[in-house]
């Protein structure tokens, strides 16, 4: 596998992003958050609202800046079907439900109640959680299993009806068998962070979006989950991956969705 292409500069405008990607077939491109906010300003006549809960005090969910990028993407791309790997407490699922159109379905998968094997994780110290990616992942699995989908508790009826909560191991998900191949517009990958899981979730996400859509990964450049960064560096040998500066979000734009996204505010 050849080394990924790494452009030197950070992309600051939609036009610079479009120009950069037109000549690039692979590599990781770092993009400033303001590129997304600039696109929002051009796409909507007035200020764009964002519905969100105060973030959790614990580890495991996305930051406020990451939430703002995710919501910007949802508003720009207006997906009809979203798939999430890793529901956890439901923070990002609720964010996606509360910032998409009334017709948009959100499907999310997590392990659910299968916490027996993660019992040890309740005793891990903060230092262990920040130093050991496997312990960190087991702690997230344990926390999800014991606390459940806390942030989905207050959904209104209309949003609840747009949500499909899947329970099970994402690596065992039968995409074709469930009729999920090629029907999703956006996939958010934030489940298990080991190489086997991140690879499997990516293969399934690619199958789900088919020839057009967006994949978003969390934990690129994480100081804990280095497998995600290593995976995306390898993946970028054949794809252009956008990393959003000051976040752990990385994006892949595929087909018509890519053309549409790059066009907004680029001229």
Selected range binding ligand SAM among 14-22, 55-63, 97-105, 204-212, rule: CB under 6 A? 55-63
CA-to-CA dists, residue 62 to 90, 91, 172, angstroms: 11, 8, 25
User: Contact at 8 Å (CB) between 205 and 215?
Assistant: yes
Is 248 a binding residue for ligand SAM by CB under 6 A? The answer is no
Q: Which residues of 150-184 are buried (b: 16+ CB within 10 A; e: fewer)?
A: bbbeebeeebeebbebbeeebeebebeeeebeebb
* 15 close to 267: Cβ distance less than 8 angstroms: yes
Among 13, 63, 171, 245, binds ligand SAM (CB under 6 A): 171
Q: Does 109 bind ligand SAM (CB under 6 A)?
A: yes
For the record, the structure tokens of 93 come out as 């699922």
Q: Please identify, among the stretches 22-30, 75-83, 125-133, 189-197, the one whose residues bind ligand SAM according to the rule CB under 6 A.
A: 189-197
Q: How many residues are listed for the chain in this entry? A: 267
Task: Between 151 and 235, name the residue whose CB sits nearer to ligand SAM.
Answer: 151
Among positions 91, 139, 217, 261, the unique one binding ligand SAM when judged by CB under 6 A? 91
**Residue with smaller CB distance to ligand SAM, 144 or 236:** 144
* Least separation in angstroms between CB 140 and ligand SAM: 4
Q: Is 190 in the site for ligand SAM (CB under 6 A)?
A: yes
End-to-end CA distance of the chain: 35
Residue 224 to residue 261: CA distance in whole angstroms: 31
Candidates 17, 31, 40, 62: give the one binding ligand SAM (CB under 6 A).
Answer: 62
The binding site for ligand SAM (CB under 6 A) comprises 60-62, 86, 88-89, 91-92, 109-111, 140-141, 144, 169-171, 190-192, 197
């Amino acid at each position: 596998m050849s080394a990924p292409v790494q452009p030197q500069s950070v992309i600051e405008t939609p036009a610079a992003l479009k120009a950069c990607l037109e000549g690039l077939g692979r590599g990781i491109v770092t993009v400033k958050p303001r590129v997304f906010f600039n696109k929002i300003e051009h796409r909507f006549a007035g200020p764009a609202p964002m519905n969100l809960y105060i973030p959790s005090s614990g580890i495991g969910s996305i930051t406020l800046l990451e939430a703002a990028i995710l919501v910007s993407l949802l508003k720009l791309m207006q997906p009809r079907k979203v798939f999430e790997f890793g529901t956890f407490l439901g923070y990002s699922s609720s964010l996606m439900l509360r910032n998409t159109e009334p017709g948009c379905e959100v499907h999310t998968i997590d392990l659910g109640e299968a916490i027996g094997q993660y019992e040890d994780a309740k005793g891990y110290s903060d230092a262990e959680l920040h130093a050991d990616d496997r312990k960190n992942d087991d702690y997230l699995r344990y926390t999800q299993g014991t606390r459940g989908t806390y942030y989905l508790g207050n959904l209104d009826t209309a949003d609840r009806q747009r949500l499909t909560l899947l329970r099970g191991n994402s690596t065992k998900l039968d995409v074709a068998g469930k009729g999920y191949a090629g029907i999703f517009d956006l996939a958010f990958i934030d489940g298990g962070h080991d190489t086997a899981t991140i690879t499997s979730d990516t293969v399934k996400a690619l199958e789900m979006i088919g020839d057009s859509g967006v994949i978003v990964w969390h934990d690129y450049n994480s100081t804990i989950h280095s497998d995600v960064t290593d995976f995306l560096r390898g993946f970028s040998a054949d794809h252009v991956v956008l990393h959003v500066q000051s976040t752990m979000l990385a994006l892949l734009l595929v087909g018509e969705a890519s053309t549409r996204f790059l066009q907004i505010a680029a001229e």
